[in-house]
Structure 1
Amino acid sequence: MPSLPFPSPKKLCIYTLSFLSFLLTLAITLFIIPWYRAHSYEVSYFTEILRLEDLDSEYASVDIREMLDIEQPPAYNTRRTPLIQDIPQLRSWDWQEMMRLHPDGTAPYTGQEFWIYVGGTPKKSLSFPFNWWDNLSLFSRPAGSCVDEDYICAAFNRGFDRLVERYHTHGKERTSGASLAFVDCDVSPLFCDEWAVDPVMLAHIESVGPCRKVKGEVMRAACTVKYRSVSLPLKTMPFSRKEMVGGKKGVPVEVFPSAEEQVRQLVMWDGVPAALQAMGNEVFEVVADAIPRK
């Protein structure tokens, strides 16, 4: 049986270069371009937010006679504003530093606790080939990240914003010592891809121990941290609410809590994630162990 002809070195080189070009094109299309698109969008957003904050600060401190000589801040209804007001917004490149966590996900001490609201606006339907490209890309597209119905996305964004406003004025109502922060997946898709979360959700971070000493230039401690994410809306609640139907002489009817009431019950007390999981809600947990398990 005659053997198959082996390609010449020239053809072999052409085939190899063609294959490598295909792999390079694939990497650029599905990895580099989506990453750069997401990163540049996030950098642009935070740059603009910082510029507006500096502009507000400068305008507030200037003498009234000089106000016409400097740039005036744009009105709040025309400017770019954070999804949630008055709490830290996490960034994809330094969220661990913002939360005082080590790069490996462990914490420098026990007792740290955070509730992080994961929000965004409804996803936009894209036509071919952009929908195909987004489905295969390793990084999500900015602007439009909430996978729930439009009214659910809007209700929880508004509800958590009101909750933060309420705690600024009625802080004594809250017994939990957990800090509050948020991430906008429209702005920081790299963060949400890293965490594998889709709006709307609440993430809970708690450093629980045990701890170990880590040797280095400076001796430091590393403590185990539990990362949990809770899907919203909740399936069940630890309490029920009733409303009167038919006026004062009507019948009390149980109604499911609103978006604001749901997030309020989650962040108000300690020990909520474990209770929610026991009640059948979707609670996902990842543990960053300071001491490797045997």
Structure 2
Amino acid sequence: MNAPTPAVDYSRLFRLDGRTVVVVGAGSGIGREAAQALAAQGAHVVVADYSPEGAEATAALIAERGGVAEAYELNVLDDDAVEAAAERFGTASALVFTAATNVRKRMDDYSMDEFDRVVNLNLRASFQLIRRFGRRFADNGGGSIIGFASIRAQVVEPGQGVYAATKAGLVQLAKTAAAEYGASGVRVNVVAPGVVETPLTGQIRANEEWYRAYAEKSALGRWARPDELAGAVVFLASDASTFVTGSTVSVDGGWTAIDGRFTPPA
């Protein structure tokens, strides 16, 4: 006989009161918006970033709005620093990481130093964050890990090869971690944005033709704002997603859903 389904208070489905969430890359861009959204739902947010100034600025924004946050300097390329962060915040309920870089060059023009720079930040650091926090979350009864992939994990263009490879790799790392840590209550998912107005896309935004072409490719006919990614993060960090793991949540304005090259007359 099945046990009765417990009553769910849907009014609190997205609330994070009494929980700590670590947001890596929260000093600017999508990470900053996600940190503010999580704090607005009651979370104690650890604002982690390579830039202590950026982390402090985000923590101050949260405090101004009545939220609770602490700034934490973290270089995700430093294995010892990642291990220390996981040790200190291993009892958190969720980890979010957004840090990434890109070198837009065709493959023939790439230096191996550039290759290493992109792979180390986008993939190697993600691997370290997932497994260091994943193990501690598992030991503490569960948690949610949320990474940031990209539409480039699915579709590419010239000059995006290495970046796309790292994002596709992150998707597969998340699926593997979901399988390995799932029995211990750890959920691992990624958010896949389309084109977002952040410092990482500055080169495109500086070219009006390029900028407009990207806007017209999406079903909504525009770029995303960083704050439009925050809802997906809150969803994945909260009890609204307790049966979601190993998934990619696309927040791309329909970019990967449509062809986009031509609108037929009928």
- TM-score normalised over the length of structure 2: 0.27
Higher strand share: 1
Greater relative CO (CA pairs within 8 A, separation 6+): 1
More helix by share: 2
- From the CA coordinates, give the structure whose radius of gyration is larger: 1
